[in-house]
Structure 1
Amino acid sequence: MSTEDEWTVGRYLATRLEQLGIRHLFGVPGDFLGPFLTIMQDTTSVRWVGTPTEMGAGYAADGYARVRAADAAADDAERGVAAVAVTYSVGAFSLLNTIGGAYVEDIPLIAINAGPSYEQWLNFQAVGLLTSHMSPRRESNLDVYRQVTVDAQVLSNPGLAPSQIDSAITACLTERKPVYLEVMEDVWEAPCEPPQGELRAHERPFTARNRQILDKAVAAAVALIRKFGTPIVWAGEELVRQRLENELVEFVEATRMQFCTTVGAKSVVSERHPLFAGVYNGKASLQEIRDTFKNAGCRIGLGTWSTSKNLNGEQNIGDDWIVAARGGLSVGAMYFPDVQLRHFIPALKTALEGQTFPADHFALARAAGLDVPATTSAFLDSLSSDEHPTELTYDSFFKHVNFFLENRATGGDPNAPSPFTVVSDAAFALLGSMNLRIGDRSGYLAQNSWLSIGYSVGAATGVALGRQQAMKRPLVFVGDGSFQEICQELSTQVRHHLAPVFFVLDNEGFYGIEQMLVAPCYFKGRQSDGADFYNVLHPWRYEKLAEVFGSEKDRMHGFELSTHDELDSLLGSLADPGNDLNHSPVLARVRLNRHDYPSALQYKIDENCPA
């Protein structure tokens, strides 16, 4: 047992996690991991949050990192980190998918893999004795994690462990991506030196050569803006990851440019900002937003990732685009390497000083003959309504929820802070929720590039714990197929007295997005296109899971919703702070027609299904 004067590798790592502001470590325990968890519990304030699955733990850590980064001071990047711990091979390979997602989406996670002892490896080397979870390939775990991390280390020598831990965490902070620490069981309680100083990110130096390239890049960007005129900004994921939301606001307010966001950058700033013009998502945008965005003279992408989901159906960005992302800048056909976003935005603002580009792009599009609302404000207001048909559809459901978030959830004051953080899963849930109007900065999160189904259910745990002091509940939208992947993570939320609200979108047990991608004409009323047989799910009575995971001591509430009246009744209860419903998890099954789909995907049918 570690004492106040003794330092072990386990205590060293736990202390480094604590110094990063991490208060919850997610994971699934195992015999190799047990010694570390005991040391951590005895010597730090970091608390263990055990989950039913390794994927759930990884998603929880991912959500925890996102909200902690968003809520930390902009100059305190070290605070937005999370950690997850599992056991060798069987746990590590289950966790791999979530670390892959964090790597793609620039989420800083520390993946801890507790492995067999050094002694056991020597036994295998000498006589071929395999113990539990071991693979004959000694570096099997390390090799796969090298593909999805910016640093991967095996700790087998206690003398080297402190420097290995520090270098990996420094890489995590600097690159804002996951790292991997594989720790042999007999190393946890081995003595080592105490930590020296605190770890921090190391910024890439801004050299004289960088200044030269930046100046040329800014000049080219200004020339393109002047050539095409009436610019609109497309704010992207890197603004969120690099905490550049203030730079975005300063830029658009100085230039009076309107801005859209990607889905991944949704709510990078409040969507009630007067220059906000909606979420642009390629052909999957609402038609009005797509028309106005494409009708602009030129487009300026700031930190936007050109993914198939951000550009849905669009094949190129064109010569009237400026895109600053992934460490470089494209201006039409020209490319300027090593131009950092944090330098480019203020430099472009300075270069445009004294020039403004005031334009309501909806008004301009209407003047150009497009059938769109008269103003941006009128359009955004139209996305919220308290008048609905009886039958629930994807579009009417999210329009109803939008009204709730903008009005009832905040006590009638649309400018008041919301008690919810919206968490969306992939597929139809993402395409429906992307047009909710989020008043709070960082009030919405989704895994928009990796798109691992079921992400939202596990992430809700991390979001709830990360924003527990702010008393913000996760409001989760997840499809039935996604939910079936990882429903058991609700038990973690009940156990830890969290209170997320889940809307499971049940379109009669069907992988709707997969059918839309493979055979969209099914949704035009045809009974089958030969693809639907493998997209059929076994039907669940989702609302009954409240009885499975809840108990008299730790309650959970389940509902079945088939009409807007039933939805309205539930939303009314959620808006009442005194209602007992608001002290425990809520699971609502939203019953939708199998042939229904979000209007964001209408282009798929129009392009593929002749009349």
Structure 2
Amino acid sequence: MTDTAANNLQAEVNRLRHELQSLKVDKQSDDGEQVTIAEYLLARLEQLGVTSIFGVPGDFNMPFLDYIEDHPKIDWIGNCNELNAAYAADGYARVKENSIGVVTTTFGVGELSAMNGVAGAFSEMVPVLHIVGAPSTAQQKKKPMLHHTLGDGRFGAYIKASEQITIAQAVLMSKTNATSEIDRILTECITRARPVYLMLPTDLVSQKVPAGRLEVPLSRTPPPNNPDVEKFVLDEIVKLVDSADQDIIILVDACAIRHNVRQEVDDLLTRTQFPVYAAPMGKTAVSENHNRYGGIYIGSISDPSIKEKVENAKLILSIGALKSDFNTGMFTYSIPTSSTIELHSDHTQVQHAQFPGIGMKQLLPKLTARLKQFESSASQLAVPHYKAVIPNEQHDDISHAWFWPRMGAFFKEGDVIVAETGTSSFGILDIPLPERSVFVSQILYGSIGWSVGSTLGAALAARDKKMGRTILFVGDGSLQLTVQELSTMMHYGLKPIIFVLNNKGYNIERHLHGMHRKYNDIADWQWTSLLTTLSNPNPQEKPKSKSYTLTALLEDKIFSNTGEMQLVEVVMDMYDTPRALQAAADLSAS
């Protein structure tokens, strides 16, 4: 049986188990309480910790928006467009772990605009619910030539597109199965860390359904591992660790975050003391101040000291790997399969043998118990701590070599740091981040402009979690795609610090291809006037934001404490680029 088939079978078993429990509650309920479908859906989202829903109003979703606006604990966050709303839901889910992001659009024109953002969440395993307000069930059956349709009666055309970028879909056409369908797709969303799609027709929004199912929480528990296979896998791993003379390193990647095993990984590190490194997408999956943390491994692009330690280890325990091109240094991992153990959410691979259905969530605590015997020897393995040194440059230009280490000294504990695809995400990789900080970047899907909308969601989630500052690094080219969402941040009282890298165009594209081509140039903007342009124009109100250029700003305590939203224009040479990005571009070209 393939992994996909096993996952689908287990998902159906989980659904039937939850359905049986819910039916029992419904049957035992004496008061027979009824709620609307909209109220049921919002109650489930509240149970999942959702406090913000993103989107744009349209006539087919506005009946549902009334319920959102009237909800006492969930806020409606109106965006400038649906694409940015989907980006915001993605950023919200990344920072508010164990919750999900939610984006609400109208049928056709709205949902299609959001699809690129939803696709990015699918690619990078981010749990997002896309709610689409749709024409009434009667209209969908009669198929009149409605606005927002294709004019040919194909009311199901849009969901066919969404089926390619969501893990589960539900088209509500009757109140009879509405609650079970809502529960089904939400369970898929939280257990498989991928987006799901819900079509909600206008006439069903206020239809009444039994509320009893809400007493049965949605299950987050992954499928149980087969105990016999799990024991065999544990035995094999222990044998390999022992035969490697305990010369083992742990490599943590994105899916350790997405599938909620941070605590299990931390317990493993604490009780075994094996050295740990992270892939780019796994940055901040473990504390970068941990005494056994060695830095970021990116194949041949890695710092030489990190590359040597990782690639010379006799055994590598890989947790949650996602082996994309940029995440592996353009596929330059020098880690043979014979020296690797891979733990994933739905399978485990020990050297060349794969064990479907043996997930890391349940395996890790048992593995920690078996490997703690090696602590005394593992603690003797040297872990050189990588430090970003600020160079003493004899000129006034702001170079990437100086800028990123200097920013490392600016960061504080608990900061949420968002980096745009390309220049920023590569520049910050080598910079150790403080305790409890969260790094947010879209390294696999790489949708230009994603970081701006994502910052909106990340900042709201950070405020919910009482975290530190939200800091965005974005290039001038990327910001021009999604700049409108800065106004949304101001509207909702968010106070991120935004560093705009002004290098006159698309830096990453120049270094990948067309260094001197005009298509990589952009129109320059008056960046220092941007927040004034996008802020509330009422002259009687105190300005909510200011703009700056970078001088001695990083030493300014008022600036650092983020009492208001702030934008910093960082003027850089159009051909200068971070070390890691230049290396990746060279590899890509070759």
After TM superposition, the score normalised by the length of structure 2 is: 0.86
Residues 114 and 195 (structure 1 numbering): CA distance in 2 closer, same or farther, change over 3 Å?
Answer: farther
Which deviates further from its counterpart, 466-475 or 196-205? 196-205
Instruction: Judge conservation of contact 1:545–1:558 (CA < 8 Å) in 2.
Output: yes
Shift of 1:275: 0.5
Is 1:558 aligned to residue 547 of structure 2? yes
Please give the per-residue CA displacement for 1:552-597, whole angstroms capped at 9, x wherever unaligned.
5352222233xxxx1x3245245554xxxx2322111211112211
Tell me which amino acid in the other structure corresponds to 1:545.
L
Please give the per-residue CA displacement for 1:131-166, whole angstroms capped at 9, x wherever unaligned.
344553221121112222222111222333222222
Is 1:129 aligned to residue 145 of structure 2? yes
For residue 72 of structure 1, what is the aligned residue in structure 2? none
Q: Residues 504-519 of structure 1: matches in 2 within 5 Å? A: 504-509=500-505, 511-518=506-513
Instruction: Judge conservation of contact 1:56–1:486 (CA < 8 Å) in 2.
Output: yes
Tell me which amino acid in the other structure corresponds to 2:228.
Q
Instruction: Judge conservation of contact 1:386–1:403 (CA < 8 Å) in 2.
Output: no
Shift of 1:385: 3.6
SS at match of 1:491: helix
Q: Residues 43-442 of structure 1: matches in 2 within 5 Å? A: 43-69=71-97, 77=98, 80-124=99-143, 128-133=144-149, 136=152, 137-196=154-213, 197-206=215-224, 210-229=226-245, 230-315=247-332, 317-318=335-336, 319-356=338-375, 357-358=377-378, 376-377=384-385, 379-380=386-387, 383-385=388-390, 387=392, 389=394, 390-405=396-411, 409=412, 417-418=413-414, 420-442=415-437
Residues 512 and 283 (structure 1 numbering): CA distance in 2 closer, same or farther, change over 3 Å?
Answer: farther
For residue 368 of structure 1, what is the aligned residue in structure 2? none
Question: Structure 2: which 5+ runs fail to align?
Answer: 1-32
Q: Partners in 2 of 1:486 and 1:290 — Cα distance?
A: 37
SS at match of 1:260: strand
Which deviates further from its counterpart, 257-266 or 320-329? 320-329
Q: Partners in 1 of 2:209 and 2:266 — Cα distance?
A: 47
For residue 28 of structure 2, what is the aligned residue in structure 1? none
Residues 176 and 607 (structure 1 numbering): CA distance in 2 closer, same or farther, change over 3 Å?
Answer: closer
Instruction: Judge conservation of contact 2:427–2:581 (CA < 8 Å) in 1.
Output: no
For residue 480 of structure 2, what is the aligned residue in structure 1? 484
For residue 587 of structure 1, what is the aligned residue in structure 2? 567
Tell me which amino acid in the other structure corresponds to 2:262.
E
Tell me which amino acid in the other structure corresponds to 1:398.
W
SS at match of 2:431: coil
Instruction: Judge conservation of contact 2:422–2:581 (CA < 8 Å) in 1.
Output: no
For residue 540 of structure 1, what is the aligned residue in structure 2? 525
Tell me which amino acid in the other structure corresponds to 1:594.
M
SS at match of 2:328: coil
For residue 47 of structure 2, what is the aligned residue in structure 1? 19
Residues 201 and 571 (structure 1 numbering): CA distance in 2 closer, same or farther, change over 3 Å?
Answer: farther
Please give the per-residue CA displacement for 1:54-74, whole angstroms capped at 9, x wherever unaligned.
1111111112122221xxxxx
Residues 232 and 156 (structure 1 numbering): CA distance in 2 closer, same or farther, change over 3 Å?
Answer: same
Tell me which amino acid in the other structure corresponds to 2:275.
Q
SS at match of 1:467: helix
SS at match of 2:355: strand
Tell me which amino acid in the other structure corresponds to 1:96.
M
Residues 606 and 142 (structure 1 numbering): CA distance in 2 closer, same or farther, change over 3 Å?
Answer: closer
Tell me which amino acid in the other structure corresponds to 1:85.
T
Q: Partners in 2 of 1:265 and 1:22 — Cα distance?
A: 24
Shift of 1:545: 1.0
For residue 74 of structure 1, what is the aligned residue in structure 2? none
Instruction: Judge conservation of contact 1:174–1:200 (CA < 8 Å) in 2.
Output: no
2:440 corresponds to which of 437, 445, 448: 445
For residue 525 of structure 1, what is the aligned residue in structure 2? none
For residue 18 of structure 2, what is the aligned residue in structure 1? none
Shift of 1:225: 3.1
After TM superposition, the score normalised by the length of structure 1 is: 0.83
Residues 333 and 11 (structure 1 numbering): CA distance in 2 closer, same or farther, change over 3 Å?
Answer: closer
Shift of 1:548: 0.9
SS at match of 2:368: helix
SS at match of 2:58: coil
Tell me which amino acid in the other structure corresponds to 1:191.
K
Instruction: Judge conservation of contact 1:284–1:431 (CA < 8 Å) in 2.
Output: no
Q: Partners in 2 of 1:85 and 1:602 — Cα distance?
A: 39
Shift of 1:388: 5.0
Q: Partners in 1 of 2:444 and 2:248 — Cα distance?
A: 26
Instruction: Judge conservation of contact 2:474–2:500 (CA < 8 Å) in 1.
Output: yes
Instruction: Judge conservation of contact 1:269–1:440 (CA < 8 Å) in 2.
Output: no
2:583 corresponds to which of 603, 606, 610: 603
SS at match of 1:395: helix
Q: Partners in 2 of 1:255 and 1:441 — Cα distance?
A: 22
Tell me which amino acid in the other structure corresponds to 1:502.
I
Shift of 1:427: 0.6
Q: Partners in 2 of 1:279 and 1:186 — Cα distance?
A: 52
For residue 412 of structure 1, what is the aligned residue in structure 2? none
